[in-house]
């Protein structure tokens, strides 16, 4: 492990807004969820910020992703809806069939729909661009599905935080579960590097990799109390992750080599992370800022 200086950090005009999810939009900007204030924000790489308040300030927008329709789609974990916002800031939302479902992770699927997790009810959901929703119950109770991503095999892969497993679902709804070797690993974030799936274990302080045939490798972090939270692939075998409990951004290579970057402000609570339109890594800091690291 090496530590290579600090990331840049940029404070936001409304630090109490709670930046949580972040993704690169089709317009060359970064799009964020403000989990505390109930807004979606658009941030250009040169620092111009636009904020779009949602219809329900307490809806807790959480994870955000580009959709196949050129809009941004996001989960509203408190009022149990899926949101959609255009790059011009026009927003709408869709209620879920299952009450109190707690949607969290969301990603574009290979079938032209958005796929999302339901933390509270142990389901994987699918929503079309027209708002048509399907739900698929998982074969385990209390699994608390977290992040979800498209895999290189055309299926969707997701982290089961309380079932201590990684899940896979096909676009037809067939599911498979892969238990993790480490007890209490509590996976949250997951990403595809185009060859395998990488995930972070917030409970064990590890980064994991799973092949599409289910083979799992785990890589302990130097600080096992770092609480890794979200992960994104910059290239095959090159993944970046947030360390929510250690105030750092980490990088891991295919061989398990780890580099860490300190964040300038103390206890900034890094959550979501994405590759920006400028090729840098951008992370949302829930205490009211955005961090940038040029690899």
pLDDT of residue 1: 34
Number of domains in the chain: 1
Tens of pLDDT, residue by residue over 19-29, are 999 999 999 99
Residue 4: the pLDDT is 54
Quick check: 124 pLDDT over 50? yes
How do beta strands 258-262 and 248-253 pair? Answer: antiparallel
> Could you give the angle at the alpha carbon of 262 between the alpha carbons of 295 and 249, nearest 5°?
55
Are the C-beta atoms of 118 and 109 separated by less than 8 Å? no
269 is in an annotated binding site: yes
Q: What is the pLDDT of residues 22-58, one digit of tens each?
A: 999 999 999 999 999 999 999 999 889 999 999 999 9
Residue pLDDT, tens place only, 194-217: 999 999 999 999 999 999 999 999
- What pLDDT sits at residue 35? 98
Please tell me the chain's helix, strand, coil percentages from 3-state DSSP, rounded to the nearest 5: 0, 55, 45
Q: Is 229 annotated as a binding residue?
A: yes
Residues labelled catalytic: 271
Is the pTM of the predicted complex or chain greater than 0.95?
yes
Q: In the structure, what pLDDT confidence band is assigned to residue 2 with cuts at 50, 70 and 90?
A: very low
CA dihedral 66, 69, 72, 77 (to 10 degrees): -100
- pLDDT of residue 129 exceeding 60, the answer is yes
Nearest to 257 by CA among 212, 216, 222, 226: 222
Check which CATH number belongs to the domain holding 131 and give it. Answer: 2.130.10.10
Cα gap 46→208, rounded to integer Å? 34
Helices (H) and strands (E) in the chain, counts: 0, 29
CA 251 to chain centre: 16
Buried b (16+ CB within 10 A) or exposed e, 145-167: bbbbbbbeeebbbbbbbbbbbbb
Is residue 36 part of an annotated ligand binding site?
no
Q: Of residues 15 and 114, which shows the higher confidence score?
A: 114
Check if the beta carbon of residue 65 is closer than 8 Å to that of residue 73. yes
Q: What is the pLDDT of residues 58-110, one digit of tens each?
A: 999 999 999 999 999 999 999 999 999 999 999 999 999 999 999 999 999 99
C-alpha 250 chain-centroid distance: 15
Tell me the residue range of the domain where 187 lies: 2-293
Question: What is the C-alpha separation between 97 and 76, in angstroms, rounded?
Answer: 14
Give CA separation, 150 vs 126, 192, 196, 221, in Å.
13, 7, 11, 25
């Amino acid at each position: 492990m090496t530590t290579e200086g600090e990331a840049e950090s940029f404070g936001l005009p409304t630090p109490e807004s709670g930046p949580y999810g972040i993704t690169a939009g089709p317009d060359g900007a970064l799009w964020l969820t403000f989990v505390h204030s109930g807004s979606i924000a658009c941030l250009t790489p040169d620092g111009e910020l636009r904020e779009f308040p949602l219809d329900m300030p307490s809806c807790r927008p959480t994870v955000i992703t580009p959709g196949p329709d050129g809009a941004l789609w996001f989960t509203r974990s408190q009022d149990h809806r899926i949101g959609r916002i255009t790059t011009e800031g026009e927003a709408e939302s869709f209620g879920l069939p299952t009450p109190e479902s707690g949607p969290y992770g969301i990603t574009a699927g290979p079938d032209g729909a958005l796929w999302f997790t339901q933390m509270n009810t142990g389901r994987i959901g699918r929503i079309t661009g027209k708002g048509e929703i399907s739900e698929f119950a998982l074969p385990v109770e209390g699994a608390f599905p977290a992040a979800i991503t498209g895999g290189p095999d055309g299926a969707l892969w997701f982290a089961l935080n309380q079932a201590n497993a990684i899940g896979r679902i096909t676009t037809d709804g067939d599911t498979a579960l892969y238990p993790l070797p480490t007890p209490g690993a509590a996976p949250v974030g997951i990403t595809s590097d185009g060859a395998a799936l990488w995930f972070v274990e917030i409970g064990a302080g590890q980064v994991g990799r799973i092949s599409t045939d289910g083979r799992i490798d785990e890589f302990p972090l130097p600080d096992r109390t770092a609480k890794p939270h979200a992960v994104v692939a910059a290239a095959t075998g090159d993944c970046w992750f947030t360390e929510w409990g250690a105030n750092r951004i980490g990088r891991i290579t295919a061989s398990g080599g780890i580099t860490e970057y300190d964040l300038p402000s103390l206890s900034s609570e890094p959550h979501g992370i994405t590759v920006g339109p400028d090729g840098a890594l951008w992370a949302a800091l829930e205490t009211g800022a955005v961090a940038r690291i040029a690899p």
